[in-house]
Structure 1
Amino acid sequence: HAITVPQDPEVLRQKTREVAALYLAAGIDPERATIFVQSHVPAHSELAWLLTCLAPLGWLNRMTQFKDKSAKMKQDSIGAGLLNYPTLMAADILLYQAEAVPVGDDQRQHLEFTRDLAQRFNHLYGETFTIPEAMIPPAGARVMGLDEPTKKMSKSEDSEYHAVYLLDPPARIRKKIMRAVTDSGREICFSDDPEKAGVNNLLTIYQAINGGTREEVEAAFADARGYGDLKKAVAESVVGLLEPLQERYNEIMAEGGYLDDILAHGAERAAAIANATLADVRDRMGLLAPRSHS
């Protein structure tokens, strides 16, 4: 997925290891979950191509993220990989016969695409793929930009005050959140009013970290003196969430071969499942199976 846009090879290799370390630091147990690098399991690419051959162009052109991203690019610089991104995502899911997929609200359309593609394949070639369901959290399913709260928070935005990154130091996190855009009012409550989008976003972040109903979150700020109190509370919540993660991340990155061993074992476990699914798909589509020399 990362190479749908140009990448510096050395940076890409480093970022891949960093993301894996962040998964572990966030508490994902490699004994219970299979963590691996997508490119280490070639079945992803092969199934993506087979699915691309079945995916109507109209389905791909309707993807909101493709339209949004391609609108910011010159026509001759839009790679086919960006258009076909959803079929690779579908392959990621369908290879493992996933029943439920945890996603943010912005990925709902891509999961619907995956479901439609799986149903299309099953109709053409017989029951092959499990039809996955989306798992979308009740709070924090769509976190918006701190500097532009009507747009989803994204790592690709240029503004340094747009997003909080998992490895941002505490002082930087506090600075970003204290500069978050709000309106000129004082009432701290959830609202559908576009003018209150900034406050709504901060409350959503607070709720996602601390839990509670909307009413309970609003009650926590009933005696607040203004948005400054809200921002301070959100900042401390984010810092409190990320500091232990950052400590564990630094330990993992310093442990030498530990991370690489997990990724290698994960790729072996993933490949065993993925290759079995791919063999079934190839057979159903009529691709001639290779025969080994006796």
Structure 2
Amino acid sequence: MFSANSWDTFHPKPCIKSEPPGSGRVFSGIQPTGVPHLGNYLGALENWVSLQKQYPSVLYSIVDLHSITQPQDPTQLKSNILDMAASLLACGIDPEKAILFQQSQVSEHAELSWILGCLTSMPRLRHLPQWKMKSKLKNEGSVGLYTYPVLQAADILLYKSTHVPVGEDQVQHLELAQDLARIFNNRYGDLFPEPRLTRKVKSLRDPSAKMSKSDPQTMATVTITDSPDDIALKIRRAVTDFTSEVTFDPETRPGVSNLVTIHAAVAMISVQEAVSQARGLDTGAYKKLVSEAVIQRLTPIREEIERLRADRAHLEQVLAQGTRRARELAAPVLAEVRQRVGFC
């Protein structure tokens, strides 16, 4: 489901194609790690805004239960949840079209996760990429980190979700959700539909890596609240190469190609158009063009985030309303699960 920040990664347009618009239910989530970065916005949040216009039932969750698999300061976590809510609203998530809610406030997520965990083998979890990567970094991992993908599956299945926008690094986690839907249905009778899967913006300092807020190089990541001066500085210092002409060749020119990808995405043009606009410019001049495009795109979002942050009561009201609507969907599904399992 989630990488460090979101289930989704950078796709120029939504990849959900299996059913016509107007059918199915979309679910996705994002961790409250503070303000999203440019990769989150171009990869996940633009897609989310598009999906809420296409599907009648859409849920987006701020997944704070997932966030505590890593140590969190409680005061900072609460602040991050509201910051993420402000960011999502500023990016275009409409609480009238999509259910925006805080995961921990819907207790059914945790209970379904336990039930699904009892259907999941340890070897199945041990080979998932998130566990192998994060436990290796920490030299050990918590039980929560180990069972994190089961909670992801519960998040999806609790709402009988049919479409889940996820990034490439989360495909195996979605496959676990599909497997658990099949296992539960085979054991207890059909209940859950099998959810279906629906480009990443790279680090500015290391084009081989995706953009991440956890990157120790502060110049590597553009956040959506960066000032115009900060954006210009970060893009100016982006790693390119020794060829002055701007071309798009991700294999041999990853740095320049990443800039072209960013330019195309924020300007809402094709890669070919971005390269055409760069004709006659060296990479230094092109960085200025990219900076201007990014600044133009992010400035209204930054200003709206600042306005929303000042209205904490409104953010709390939006999340509370979303929680009520999410529970209205979750409660009957979990009641059916409990009955089938034999709890009542």
Return the TM-score normalized by structure 2: 0.77
Aligned to 2:205: 147
Aligned to 1:221: 278
1:189 aligns with 2:247: yes
Mapped to 1, the partners of 2:299 and 2:133 lie a distance apart of 34
Structure 2 residue identity aligned to 1:67:
K
Structure 1 runs of 4+ off > 3 angstroms?
none
Mapped to 1, the partners of 2:121 and 2:174 lie a distance apart of 16
Structure 1 residue identity aligned to 2:208:
T
- 1:250-289 superposed matches below 5 A: 250-287=306-343, 289=344
* 1:184 Cα deviation after fit: 1.7
Mapped to 2, the partners of 1:37 and 1:58 lie a distance apart of 31
Aligned to 2:261: 204
Contact 1:106 1:142 in 2 (8 A): no
> RMSD of the TM alignment (CA)?
1.6
Aligned to 1:162: 220
Mapped to 1, the partners of 2:233 and 2:285 lie a distance apart of 14
Contact 2:205 2:238 in 1 (8 A): yes
* 1:248 Cα deviation after fit: 1.1
* 1:210 Cα deviation after fit: 2.2
Aligned to 1:292: none
Mapped to 2, the partners of 1:229 and 1:131 lie a distance apart of 49
Contact 1:105 1:142 in 2 (8 A): no
Aligned to 2:11: none
Give the number of aligned pairs: 279
1:91 aligns with 2:148: no
| Structure 1 residue matching 2:120: 3-state secondary structure | coil
Mapped to 1, the partners of 2:293 and 2:130 lie a distance apart of 30
Give the one of 99, 106, 109 matched to 1:41.
106
Give the one of 289, 303, 316 matched to 1:247.
303
Mapped to 1, the partners of 2:170 and 2:92 lie a distance apart of 23
Mapped to 1, the partners of 2:228 and 2:331 lie a distance apart of 43
Mapped to 2, the partners of 1:38 and 1:133 lie a distance apart of 21
* 1:33 Cα deviation after fit: 0.9
Mapped to 1, the partners of 2:98 and 2:104 lie a distance apart of 18
Mapped to 1, the partners of 2:297 and 2:309 lie a distance apart of 19
Identity of counterpart residues, as a percentage?
42
Q: Which blocks of at least 5 consecutive residues in structure 2 are unaligned?
A: 1-65
| Structure 2 residue matching 1:35: 3-state secondary structure | strand
Q: Which blocks of at least 5 consecutive residues in structure 1 are unaligned?
A: 136-140, 290-294
Note the alpha carbon deviations across 1:36-75, whole angstroms, 9 max, x for none. 1111101111111111111222222222222222221122
Mapped to 2, the partners of 1:62 and 1:190 lie a distance apart of 35
Aligned to 1:65: 130
Mapped to 1, the partners of 2:131 and 2:291 lie a distance apart of 33
Mapped to 1, the partners of 2:213 and 2:126 lie a distance apart of 23
Give the one of 91, 96, 120 matched to 1:26.
91
Mapped to 1, the partners of 2:110 and 2:119 lie a distance apart of 15
| Structure 1 residue matching 2:164: 3-state secondary structure | strand
Mapped to 1, the partners of 2:122 and 2:177 lie a distance apart of 14
* 1:256 Cα deviation after fit: 4.0
Mapped to 1, the partners of 2:207 and 2:103 lie a distance apart of 32
Structure 2 vs 1, CA of residues 54 and 161 (structure 1 numbering), >3 Å: closer, same or farther? same
Aligned to 1:9: 74
Mapped to 1, the partners of 2:264 and 2:130 lie a distance apart of 27
